[in-house]
Structure 1
Amino acid sequence: MKKLMLLLSLCLTACASTPKATRIDMPGPDLSVAVHVDDLRPASEKEDKIFSLLVTSSGYGIYRKGDSTLDPPAIHVFRRVAYETLGDEVTKAPITVHHLVVYANAKSELRKSSIGIGLGGALGGAIGGAAAGVSAQGAVPAQTNINQSIVDRNAFEKYGDEYERAYYTIAENPQHASVFVIYIDATIAGKRIFVKTMAPTRVQDGQNAYSVAVQSAIQHWLSQYSAS
């Protein structure tokens, strides 16, 4: 059993790691470089983290994806898209970012993949299948739609454990699909907006789910800002 748990941990670590940053293509010159950004995020939000490798843990299958997982980092993408959308409005005062953090919640899928696993190749096959988007039984994994909402700042700050921020409700994700959960809390021109975006980890061929999720979250923040 100890060997099984060790092998499971090693496989999950390999699946969760991101050896190469996901590229977000933004053609043309970046004219937002002169825009000042006050990055007030907690230092932890900029760092990768695997919350637990223990299958029975509440934090199992949940990861924080730090700045190094995107090229350019999400905060730079936010600055540029904000400038390109709002123009001179973001040059009159600094953009202040209180939270901009991405979580991945693959708990349900990984737990299903671990059921009935034996030693050796069966374990590697199951975990590899989960990472590739196929369940241990070869079925197509569950999917979900993008879900976006305004965040209650007090509730956000009261989570007992950080990984709970990546939880979802049945209404948000009825099939328990693997998802990205992204929070953006920022201020521009005195208006502070805090939003959450939950997006699937799988999208149509030719697209990168992580890139799509982050850009969708930024666009949602801007849409709420413009509407406020």
Structure 2
Amino acid sequence: MHVFKYLLAASSLIIAGCASHPALPPPEFPGLEQSEKIVIHDQRPSSESEKKIFSLLVTSSAYAIYRMPDTATRPTGPRLLAHRAYETFPELSSQPTINVHHFVTYANLQSQLRKSSLLAGLTGPIGVAILSSQELPVGEVLTNRIDSGVFEKTAGDEEYTRAFFSAEENPEKSPVNLIYIDAEMLGQRIASRCLVPPIEGKPNLFLVEAIDMCITNHLALYRTAPAQETAAK
């Protein structure tokens, strides 16, 4: 029972970020009202806007994977997408419509929480406290174009696999967000997958900031070759 309490404490620290840093206000997006003319046709499955914990069982392959709800950020992901598209593409003013087929965010804390589980079992609260106070390895935001059809095949029981990453993408197995965007604008439909690890110099990265980075990379794909990969820093 005591071990379980230690794990809950460690999980809270990891999910919320480094609790030792001073609280910061969330970022603001001035001029957001200017893009209100952009019409968003939200065609997503309703579940993509809802919170889900895929598994609390440590031995499960879906353990410590979460779907983040739209309410986790202000503005929501689709609304921020419309705003950044309005800023990026002046021609959107004559075609002010965006069809959002998918926009969903996952958090993968699997490796970190499994370490907490093992450490709590072996060393108790001192070991967990040491782990939660350590700085996480940093990396780059990686975005690549994906096939919408392949993405949609993972709906249902395999949805949690969307939060998986490769050893090349995240060699240190840091906690990451995986953000998927599939949107149609200006006659083009593009889907992307974006991985956001801990970012150097941003110990208090807000989820909306991670989403904003992925949106920037996603919009860049409308003007680049399909196979090209971009990285926001």
Determine if the alignment matches structure 1 residue 218 to structure 2 residue 215: yes
Q: 2:163–2:178: 8 Å Cα contact kept in structure 1? A: yes
- Residue 31 (structure 1) shift: 1.0
Q: How does 1:59-78 map to 2 (within 5 A)?
A: 59-78=62-81
Question: Deviations along 1:104-162, whole A, 9 cap, x unmatched?
Answer: 1110011111113149x718x72xx5xxxx626x5433332211111122321222511
Q: Alignment partner for residue 141 of structure 1, among 136, 140, 157?
A: 136
Does the residue aligned with 1:41 lie in a helix, a strand or coil?
Answer: coil
Aligned residues: 216
Give aligned-pair identity as a percent. 34
Distance in 2 of aligned mates of 1:135 and 1:5:
15
CA, structure 1 residues 35+91, in 2 after alignment: closer, same or farther (shift >3 Å)? farther
CA, structure 1 residues 104+27, in 2 after alignment: closer, same or farther (shift >3 Å)? same
Hey, what does 2:26 align to over in structure 1? Answer: 23
Q: 2:99–2:185: 8 Å Cα contact kept in structure 1? A: yes
- Residue 224 (structure 1) shift: 0.5
What one-letter code is carried by the residue in structure 2 that aligns with 1:213?
A: A
Distance in 2 of aligned mates of 1:90 and 1:227:
21
Question: Deviations along 1:76-128, whole A, 9 cap, x unmatched?
Answer: 11111100111242542520001111111110011111113149x718x72xx
Hey, what does 1:50 align to over in structure 2? Answer: 53
Q: 1:109–1:141: 8 Å Cα contact kept in structure 2? A: no
Distance in 2 of aligned mates of 1:176 and 1:206:
17
CA, structure 1 residues 56+8, in 2 after alignment: closer, same or farther (shift >3 Å)? farther
Hey, what does 1:227 align to over in structure 2? Answer: 224
Determine if the alignment matches structure 1 residue 195 to structure 2 residue 198: no
Does the residue aligned with 1:217 lie in a helix, a strand or coil?
Answer: helix
Q: 1:144–1:175: 8 Å Cα contact kept in structure 2? A: no
CA, structure 1 residues 204+13, in 2 after alignment: closer, same or farther (shift >3 Å)? closer
Q: 1:61–1:110: 8 Å Cα contact kept in structure 2? A: yes
Unpaired stretches in structure 1, ≥5 consecutive residues: none
Higher-RCO chain (CA-CA 8 Å, sequence separation at least 6)? 2
Q: Alignment partner for residue 168 of structure 2, among 161, 168, 171?
A: 171
Cα RMSD, aligned residues only:
2.9
- Residue 50 (structure 1) shift: 1.4
Question: Deviations along 1:178-224, whole A, 9 cap, x unmatched?
Answer: 11111100000220000111011454147524233211110111111
Does the residue aligned with 2:83 lie in a helix, a strand or coil?
Answer: helix
What one-letter code is carried by the residue in structure 1 that aligns with 2:135?
A: V
Hey, what does 1:150 align to over in structure 2? Answer: 145
CA, structure 1 residues 135+10, in 2 after alignment: closer, same or farther (shift >3 Å)? closer
TM-score, length-scaled by structure 1: 0.82
Distance in 1 of aligned mates of 2:105 and 2:71:
12
Q: 2:3–2:120: 8 Å Cα contact kept in structure 1? A: no
Distance in 2 of aligned mates of 1:226 and 1:85:
11
- Residue 29 (structure 1) shift: 5.0
